[in-house]
Structure 1
Amino acid sequence: MLLQIDKDCRRLCPDFNFFQCASKHPCSRLCGKNSFETLRKRVEQTVLQSESVSRNRLGITNMSAVKRKSSSEFVPLPDGQEAHWEVCERILFVFAKLNTGLGYIQGMNEILGPIYYTFATDPDTECEEFAEADSFFCFTTLMSEIRDNFIKTLDDSQCGIGGLMDQLMSQLKEQDPTLWHKLQEQDLKPQFYAFRWLTLMLSQEFPLPDVIRIWDSLFSQEKCSTFLIKVACAMLLLLKDDLLRGDFPSNMKLVQNFPYSTFDVQKVLKKAVEISR
């Protein structure tokens, strides 16, 4: 589990290097002289066992154990410092340990990223200092609402991600039967694109500043998942002309790579509000 968390956190928001930069407020108990071992060092010291098989000229098979250390994708910071991704790694690891029934599932890092970034870049230095604790609290609170989306056994139930995708398709059918019929005709299932949209709350479809703007609207609602469906439906409606003209391959590429540079995030949110009325 820790290896997967480490791998995912190192790759948070690769379009800019904020998460690879040093935190202004590293954990003193982990970065001091008499500190505890960090999670990063645990991963770096992980020894992977493997065996090589060879056969000599007499036909005798020999097996020899080979030890190799796991490689780091990024050069670690000097002792006494920790990167922002390491803080996120610690948050996710503690969350997984406290929620053993759910644990850690890939994608949770994408939910945590915008939350932590918001607190860690707070202009109020006092608030910025407690970014880790505040992020953990908000992430845990949010996960209590959307955790069913990460439970595989609930995928096909109404309370899981399958139920959300059904609601999205029902919303689209109500708003634009022509577009809905086109997607049905091409068998362009929501599992191909909406699964990621809804599970990760659009954190992979827009640049981070736009994600924060969308989330600001989502969290202003009584239930964020309800408005999230409206936003996802608005995205499809804005792509209507291209989807009606396109064939299956081009439409698949379009919905899996939403052209956010063409449609301003405010336009998407405005359309979602219109749907809500």
Structure 2
Amino acid sequence: MQGRINLQDEVDRVLGGGPLGMNVDQAKSICLREGLTVSPVRSLVWMLALGVLDPAQTDKWPNQARAWRKSYARKKRKLLVNPNKAKSKTSDNPLADDKDSLWTVYFANEELREEIKRDLTRTYPEMEFFHSDRIQGLLLDALFVYAKTYPDPSYRQGMHELLAPLVYVLAHNRDRDAVTVPDWLDPIYATSDAALEADAYQLFHIIMDTARPWFAVTNAPRGTIPPPSPIVLKCQNLQDGMLKRVDRELYDHLVDVGVEPQLYALRWARLLLGREFHLDDLVIVWDGLFAHSPDLALLDHICVAMLVYLRDQLLESDYVYTLRRLMKFPPVEDVRCFVEQGLALATSKTPLRSRSKAEIDAAAAAAATARRDADRAADPLSGRSHARGGASTFAKSIIATAHGGASPAPVIGASSSSPRRRRRRNGNSSSSPAPNTDNDALQRVSDHVSDLLATNHQLGTKLTDLVAVLQGEVHTKEPPSRETLYMAIAGLKQIKDVLLGNLPYSPDAPLDIVVPPARHDINYTEPDDVDAADVDIEPAPSEPAPSDPAAPSEPAAPSEPATSEPDTAPPLPPPVLDLIGDVSSPIGSKLSVFGDVDDEFGDPDSLFDNL
């Protein structure tokens, strides 16, 4: 069936053999170096690394799996008490006070299961897989069995986040629609819910052998201070011991701002970094964690590497931001760097500071640049553009320019459908010889590209200035200047003609594109608040004295009608008139040129069609 992954192929690749031989050291090396990505062999490697399966006795694996599954099933049946079906004494009833009463045990079990259920509803809420009734019931029963088997510490919040990734990996590795399983591994990759639950419990049990003390609660007589719990001591050693030796500056900063290690490291350690990374990244970290040793000794070194990764941000932060950053770790492009750095810290005999985020990013950028330079040196003209037709036309024009306007000569031995053949990176030559490199042609290509970049920069600068002018006219409180608008439009039209190839342009002799002064460049200041005492106030006209009604009144002289001069725009300079044409039409019609410019910028490919 197409789309399936062949498990046998993955076993051969990772473990180096079939049922007659298992190279576990090779698998561990892969886990520590690169992780297993989405390989269905992950659950098998985890079982081998944690000691659930013996790599030297592959023929006994079916019997071993059958044994631990039966043992788990018996334990589960014994612990899931149902008084209604059990044979009990007549006096045993729901109201009995006897601590050995089946009803007392039943009520205690139900209380414990309700506590576990509350946490399970919050398990990876964004992933539908964990919220089906099937998976919820499976997780509930496995955690309940563990809590009853180990009353100290019983169940503690966070244990569900250790079990959930195990169930996720086991279930997806056994999906028969995605994985083809060979017959000899079919008993290990059993698909029943009972087998999935028992196998997940077996892995969880081994992990908890190391992590159980981290969930313990220390008690002390009343009135006395309890001793530090194992998890607090672990957190203190992480910051006050290991980080102090690796990066003293960062350690001093955390102490100065008052960040206690248990505030962030307690969750990191208890959940094996389960909340710091996405689940798909977390399992890659767990690949290295389990492969290093079943006692999870690499965990502390990975935590130190994570602290140093954030050093540049933390050193510039106060208490609040530092704690927020540590409690919500930022997304990481490749979590394998933490396994790599943690392993380096674990194997170094001298204090070795791991790399910060800036250093890792710089190293990745340098490596990418080195690979790109190597590719260009091997075949300088083999770069291909993935843009649309306009960009390909642009690339062809560059090559044509390099060859004096003619198409490049075909490569001898290359097929007609592919005029150039990329040289293989591994150094093996193909059947056709490598193309000859014309130094003059390459120089012309380089010069042409340099001119294009210079042109883009100059036109971009002019365009920025023109946009600033238009913004100044739009946002001013005064009426916009018609002359300024016309001049800005003229400059935009020049840039458009250059981009369309209608107007020659050279960065060595650029055009004198008209850019009027922007509104914010004009020395304009708002008037200060005016004091009434500083203003000459004309006296208000006095009311006319009441006239004598007996006196004859003279007719008032007729007032001349007020005339206003027409609002005429100042004349534009001749160069502007030549560029924008007739200016007698309303300004609204002239703004239509923006539509043309916008169309050209809306389609990036069209910018190169006429170059």
Instruction: Provide TM-score, normalisation by structure 1.
Output: 0.73
Percent identity over the alignment is 30
Q: 2:309 aligns with which of 235, 238, 262?
A: 238
Does 1:207 find its partner at 2:270? no
CA distance in 2, matches of 1:252, 1:16: 27
CA contact (8 A) 2:302 2:342 kept: yes
Paired amino acid for 1:122: N
Partner of 2:128: 17
CA distance in 1, matches of 2:337, 2:206: 29
Partner of 1:134: 199
CA contact (8 A) 1:218 1:224 kept: no
Paired amino acid for 2:191: E
Q: Secondary structure in 2 aligned to 1:127? A: coil
Partner of 1:168: 238
Task: List alignment gaps of at least 5 residues for structure 2.
Answer: 1-111, 177-188, 220-225, 349-611
Task: List alignment gaps of at least 5 residues for structure 1.
Answer: 22-81
Does 1:253 find its partner at 2:304? no
CA distance in 2, matches of 1:251, 1:161: 21
> What displacement does 1:274 show?
2.1
Partner of 1:97: 148
Within-5 A mapping of 1:45-124: 82-123=133-174
Partner of 2:583: none
> What displacement does 1:7 show?
1.0
> What displacement does 1:262 show?
3.6
CA distance in 1, matches of 2:321, 2:251: 17
CA distance in 2, matches of 1:224, 1:186: 33
CA distance in 2, matches of 1:161, 1:86: 30
Indicate the RMSD between aligned Cα atoms, in angstroms. Answer: 1.8
Paired amino acid for 1:217: G
Q: Secondary structure in 2 aligned to 1:225? A: coil
Paired amino acid for 2:244: K
CA contact (8 A) 2:250 2:315 kept: yes
> What displacement does 1:157 show?
4.4
CA distances 1:64-89 after superposition (whole Å, capped 9, x unpaired): xxxxxxxxxxxxxxxxxx42121101
CA distances 1:226-246 after superposition (whole Å, capped 9, x unpaired): 210001000000000000011
CA contact (8 A) 2:207 2:294 kept: no
Q: Secondary structure in 2 aligned to 1:12? A: coil
Q: Secondary structure in 2 aligned to 1:203? A: coil
Q: Give the structure with the larger strand fraction.
A: 1
Paired amino acid for 1:198: A
Paired amino acid for 1:96: A
CA distance in 2, matches of 1:136, 1:223: 16
> What displacement does 1:13 show?
1.1
Partner of 1:195: 266
Higher relative contact order (CA 8 A, sep 6+): 1
- Count of matched residue positions in the alignment of Structure 1 and Structure 2: 215
Cα 1:273–1:223 change in 2 (3 A) is: same
Paired amino acid for 2:345: I
> What displacement does 1:131 show?
1.1
Paired amino acid for 1:95: Y
Instruction: Provide TM-score, normalisation by structure 2.
Output: 0.34
Q: 2:254 aligns with which of 164, 177, 183?
A: 183
Partner of 2:338: 268
CA distance in 1, matches of 2:232, 2:116: 25
- Which stretch shifts more, 206-215 or 263-272? 263-272
